[in-house]
Each structure stands twice: as structure tokens, then as C-alpha cells.
Amino acid sequence: MAKLSQEDLLAQFEEMTLIELSEFVKAFEEKFDVTAAAAAPVVVAGGAAGGAAAEAAEEKDEFDVVLTGAGDKKIQVIKVVRELTSLGLKEAKDLVDGAPKPVLEKVNKEAADKAKESLEGAGASVEVK
């Protein structure tokens, strides 16, 4: 197998959904016995001290759409999750069965509201964080 350059790897990751990328990170952590999240608190702690006041003043522009329950129409909810995330049938079913789970992460307000409306229309209960 040819060795992929860093640019090739980044191009592949760019095409993945957030859920696929999250699953990849978990598999990577298990395979190499490492934790990718270990560096995040250090970065956040360092940046939080100086930038906390500036962040509070800014309006939130990234939202997470979290499925909190499937309701009575589970099949319709699975269909909507597949449309929103481009997941396969099994992955979408697992996501719905494992509620509460994030369906979309770090999307703009318009996309979050649209996803919430679609999921609620299918009978699911949803939170936008």
C-alpha cells in the first residue's frame, strides 16, 4: 500500500461526516492505545483565561442538534436521520436507538433549525445546543 501524504489524508477526512470522523478517532485511539482528547483540555484551559470575556460577547454561531428520543414513529425518524447525515441504515438505526445522541455537530443556526424541524416532524424529540 502506498504511503498517503498529509494532504491526501486531510482530503479524505474532509469528505467524512462528523459522525464518521468521530468513529474513526475512536478506532484510531483503540488501535494505537492513545487518547486524542488529552491535548484538548490543555488548549482550552490556556485559551479560556484570556478569551472567555471575548467569547461571551460573541453570538454563538455553531450549534449541535441532539436527538433526545425517537418517539412513536422510529422508522420515520431513522429516515430523516439518514437524509440529514448520509449515514447507512444500520448506522442511522444505531444512532436513533442510542438516543440521546448528536445528529449534527457544529452547524449554523439555519441548518440546526431545519434539522430540528424535520426530526420533530417525524415524531422525534430534539434539542439544539
In the chain, domain spans: 1-38, 63-128
CB atoms within 10 A of CB 129: 11
- Locate 54 and state its grid cell: 471575548
Quickly state the pLDDT bin for 59 (edges 50, 70, 90): low
Cα 65 from Cα 67, distance rounded (Å): 7
User: Pairing between strand 101-107 and 125-128?
Assistant: unpaired
The string of pLDDT tens digits covering residues 93-113 is 888 888 788 888 888 888 888
Q: Per CATH, which fold does 63-128 belong to?
A: Ribosomal Protein L30; Chain: A, (3.30.1390)
Instruction: State the pTM of this model.
Output: 0.51
Phi/psi at 26 (5° precision): -60, -45
